[in-house]
Amino acid sequence: MSFDRSKKPVWRQGYRYQYEPAQKGHVLLYPEGMIKLNESAALIGGLIDGERDVAAIIAELDRQFPGVPELGEDIEQFMEVARAEHWIELA
C-alpha cells in the first residue's frame, strides 16, 4: 500500500509543537506529557501547519537538503508513526 502524499497533516487537538529551551530542542507537548523530538522529526514537525500536504513538506525539505535519497520515504515513515502514536491526523 502506498502512502498518500496529498494528505495534510495537522497536530491533534491538545498537542503543541514548540522549541523548549530546557530540552535544548523541539518538543511535542500534550496533556499527559511531552515528547522530545530528534532533529529530523523537529524539521518535519516545523512544517506541519495544516496547510501543507505531505508532498509539499517533502519538497521543502528536499530543497533544504538536496540529494538525500530516502528523504521522501523517511518523511512518510515519520507521518505513519506520528499518526499511529496519535500525534497527528491526516486530512
The count of domains in the chain is 1
Amino acid at 80: E
Distance set, CA 77 to CA 19, 22, 41, 68 (Å):
23, 28, 11, 15
**What's this model's pTM, rounded to 2 decimal places?**
0.93
Is 2 part of a structural domain of the chain? no
pLDDT of the chain, 91 residues: tens digit per residue: 578 999 999 999 999 999 999 999 999 999 999 999 999 999 999 999 999 999 999 999 999 999 999 999 999 999 999 999 999 999 9
Contact 57, 44 (CB under 8 A): yes
The domain that holds 30 is classified in CATH as 1.10.10.1150
pLDDT for res 60: 98
